[in-house]
Structure 1
Amino acid sequence: MPSPQQARAQASAITSGKAGPDAEMSPTAQLRALFDRPRLSPGQRRIAQYLIEHIAEAAFLSITDLADRVGVSQPSVTRFASAVGFSGYPALREKLQSITLGTRAGGPAEEIRANELQAAVDAEIGNLENLRRDLADADRVIEVGRRLSASTPLTVLGLRISVSLAEYFAYAARRIHPDVRLVTRGGSVAYDALLQSREAGGTWVLAFSMPRHAQETLTAVRVARSAGLKVALITDLALGPLVDEADVSFAIGTGSRLVFDSYAAPGVMCAALLQAMTDADPERTQARLDEYEHVADEHQFFLRD
């Protein structure tokens, strides 16, 4: 009889297919598409990032308030609106309002929030709903999972606060992949590990970057790219140097209502990529899970429920 984990691996295969015409894009995805312009200046990227991260509030700001929040001039906001295809800031704001009001229209009435802890949970539910909409087209996840599965060794990189997500992913990936290398220290230690991974035949790195984003993560990603490794990135950012350096990125919302961020949606994204890896090589997956269950039983790794 298969273990619960084996049964889940068999039963949870991702179904490929493009989203239907009625599939709803998340506000984050809509703004990423709206602002995906290669020639945005650094200041314009800051405006775009602020709008993406604060869409519900920013859609109703005056040009003066938005400029103050981002730390740019009012003419800079006007030029940004023109750069992303609008006649001026009023037209851009109208578009932003239609996006944010569209996500609220027809939804359930907002529950009374008893305390800040419940508000934090509500924010995470919103992140998960956005992720669900982004995953309506699963093909990109399937393709990245296939690439990660085929990379031997596969390197997983997470520094500072991102260590926990990298450790979770690497721990699970080792059950289904023969050579997973975890990098959680920056500087020359990370460089050595990345270069060795490439020399050993590795082709991909999965990197995590959560707020506050470490400079050493950006440097490590650049080292990986210069060594010939491809980089898949899981982050909360839609724009910026980290995203620019990655070959493929997944912008996933994090909970920021409490003193430390929470990672419900990035955790689900990890599980989705792990599922895609199992689907990419089901025979290897099954053989490795069988062997692991044998070793776990022999050495009594787990309590019997």
Structure 2
Amino acid sequence: MPTPDPSTASDAEPSIAARIASAMPSLTPIHRRMGEYVLANPFRAATMRIDELAQAVDASIATANRFAKALGFDGYPAMRAALVRGFEATLAPVERLRSAQEQEAGVRDAAWIDAVFNQAVENIEDTRAQLNAANIEAAVEAIVAARRVLILGAGSSAFLAGLMEHGLSVCHDNVQSLALLGGPSHAARRLYTADARDLVIAIAFPRYVDDTIELARRAAARGARVLALTDGPHSPLAPLTPLTLFVTAQRRFAATSEAAVLAMIEALIDAVALRTHRSAKAAAEMTEFLLPWLTQPQAALPATDPSSTGSRKP
């Protein structure tokens, strides 16, 4: 996925790159080295505290602050804020984690875990509140009716795609996760033969991966139906298909929480199973086939009194 260009951050002020290029002839050697580092590593520089940037170029904190002023900023915080503006969505979880480490260091682990569970519950409740019955029914019908169900996902969504394939395979004859196996070019080969009889399920959440968006776009262009599982109408998947299910997936210290997404996937799997008349028989047959690999709990036996053994007369 290409790195965003921080030079597009704001039309109202010169970009960091433009400021450095303009100031470069008059900068001191150490400031030039600092400028070259920022130009070569804009994303990394945006995540650095002043001491980290100074250390990266073997300079002092005071030198880093003077460098920011030489570029026309009031100081390093203002320069870093300008750097960050090109990467807000990407850096937001990093900034929240950094802030929590600095400001909430005394909070115990149990409190953090509690907060994560609360966030997951809120995501699921918010997702359920915004569910549209017609959209759900259309999504289930599309899965049931499809000749093939091809699932796209990248990053953590690749694992969600695998879980969706795992669940749907019991009640649909042809479900394939195109995540991981062979990369996007392999997925493109599979999608080349897709048409209106097939359903492509595209899973994409922040941080969105271009591969998923492009593959879904190409599948739609070939006539395949596309079902998007994503976080809202602002998602790059949303314009590609009218068949979308939105899932709230906020997480404080990461870009996405998968809990509500997985709940949506499980709900779709169960709904498809209920719609598929042979699913109960297929599930029973699959379970029987898998029995040699499953650990069976021993049946509970009634307790016996050792002293009574053999005391009864025939």
Q: Does TM, scored on the shorter chain, surpass 0.5?
A: yes
Distance in 2, Cα, partners of 1:303 & 1:114:
33
Contact 1:243–1:249 at 8 Å: present in 2 too? yes
Answering whether residue 134 of structure 2 is matched by residue 134 of structure 1, we say no
Contact 2:135 2:245 in 1 (8 A): no
Which of 212, 219, 235 in structure 2 is aligned with 1:217?
212
RMSD across aligned C-alpha pairs, in angstroms?
Answer: 2.7
Are the aligned partners of 1:204 and 1:229 in contact in 2 as well (CA < 8 Å)? yes
Matched residue of 2:203: which SS? Answer: strand
Counterpart code for 1:210: F
Larger Rg: 2
Residue 237 of structure 2: SS of its match in structure 1?
A: helix
Looking at structure 2, the residues matched to 124 and 293 of structure 1 have their Cα atoms a distance apart, in angstroms, of: 31
Q: Does 1:120 align with 2:112?
A: no
Higher relative contact order (CA 8 A, sep 6+): 1
> 281, 290, 293: which one pairs with 1:296?
290
**1:138 deviation in Å?**
3.0
Q: 1:232 to 1:157 in 2, by over 3 A?
A: same
Shift of 1:188: 2.1
User: Secondary structure of the residue that 1:295 maps to in structure 2?
Assistant: helix
1:207 corresponds to which residue?
202
Query: Which residue does 2:184 correspond to in 1?
Result: 187
Decide whether aligned partners of structure 1 residues 209 and 71 sit closer, same or farther in structure 2, where only a CA change above 3 A counts.
same
Q: Label 1:132 to 1:241 Cα distance change in 2 as closer, same or farther (>3 A).
A: closer
1:153 correspondence with 2:148: yes
Change (3 A) 1:236 1:285: same
SS at match of 2:114: helix
When normalised by structure 2's length, the TM-score is 0.56
Match of 2:165?
170
8 Å Cα contact 1:141-1:272 kept in structure 2 = no
> What is the alpha-carbon distance in structure 2 between the residues aligned to residue 165 and residue 218 of structure 1?
16
Does residue 267 of structure 2 align to residue 275 of structure 1?
Answer: no
> What amino acid is aligned across from residue 295 of structure 2 in structure 1?
L
Of the structure 1 ranges 114-123 and 272-281, higher mean CA displacement relative to structure 2 is found in: 114-123
Q: Which range is displaced more, 165-174 or 253-262?
A: 253-262
Distance 1:160 1:259, change over 3 A: closer
The 5 Å alignment of 1:227-266 reads 227-259=222-254, 261-266=256-261
**TM-score, length-scaled by structure 1:** 0.57
What is the number of residues matched between the two proteins?
193
Residues in 1 aligned to 2:226 and 2:127: alpha-carbon distance in whole angstroms? 21
The Cα of 1:247 is off from its aligned counterpart by 3.0
Conserved 8 A contact 1:161-1:210: no
Whole-angstrom distance in 2 between the partners of 1:277 and 1:234: 16
- Map Cα deviations across residues 258-294 of structure 1 (whole Å, 9 max, x no partner): 346421111110011112211222x221231132123
Inter-partner Cα distance in structure 1 for 2:155 and 2:226: 18
Any idea what SS the aligned residue of 1:190 has? helix
**In the alignment, which residue of structure 1 is the partner of 2:310?**
none
Instruction: Provide closer, same or farther for how the CA distance between residues 250 and 289 of structure 1 changes in structure 2, counting only shifts above 3 A.
Output: same
Whether contact under 8 Å (2:194, 2:222) holds in the other structure is no
Structure 1 stretches lacking a partner, 5+ long: 1-42, 44-67, 73-112
User: Runs of 5+ in structure 2 lacking a partner?
Assistant: 1-9, 11-81, 87-108, 298-314
1:105-130 CA-to-partner distances (Å, cap 9, x unmatched) read xxxxxxxx963332222221111111
Residue 144 (str. 1) matches residue 139 (str. 2) = yes
The 1-side partners of 2:135 and 2:256 are apart by 27
Displacement, 1:71?
6.7
